Amino acid sequence: MSYSLSNAAAACGVYKSTVLRSIKAGRLTATKDALGQWRIEPAELHRVYPPVQSNDADGNGTRDGATAALAQDRAALIVAQDRAAIAEQRLADFKVLFEDMRQDRDHWRVHAGRLALSDARARQPWWQRLAWLAPSNQRFLRPPRQHDPAAQRA
């Protein structure tokens, strides 16, 4: 018993246009009956297209191949959503890590500034460092000179 074009499409879970394109391309051999309709042998059809496990009994035009593709698309969507959630979590972790590194950098910048100031003071000559250590009212002030005209003549 041979299939008609629509029965062949239903048996394989593809559209009629797909089966017809295969016939016209030569991938599938078929004959036309007296009414001009395509007749396809089951062995020839299933050589190219695998049979569908369960057919849609109510004939509302849905294809099992289409529903299987829809299920695959849903599964792929779920996987993509999971991957997006993982990527968002990693991004949040990297933001926390980046903020922590920024705080560490600022902390060490303050310390480096203090060290740079202490290095600048260490490079001063020893007498200037001593001058800054002494209280401000005793900083190497010369005693006032007494004007002694006799000391100048000698």
Q: Higher confidence at residue 1 or residue 124?
A: 1
Q: Quick one: which of 54, 64, 44, 16 has its CA closest to 7? A: 16
pTM for the structure as a whole: 0.36
User: Would you state the pLDDT for residue 72?
Assistant: 87
CA 99 from centre of chain: 19
Of 1.10.760, 1.10.1660, 3.30.70, 1.10.1060, the CATH number of 3-62 is: 1.10.1660
Q: Is the pLDDT of residue 98 over 90?
A: yes
Q: Where are the domains of the chain?
A: 3-62
Q: Is the dihedral of CA 51, 57, 62, 64 positive or negative?
A: negative
CA distance 6 to 14: 9
User: Would you state the pLDDT for residue 70?
Assistant: 85
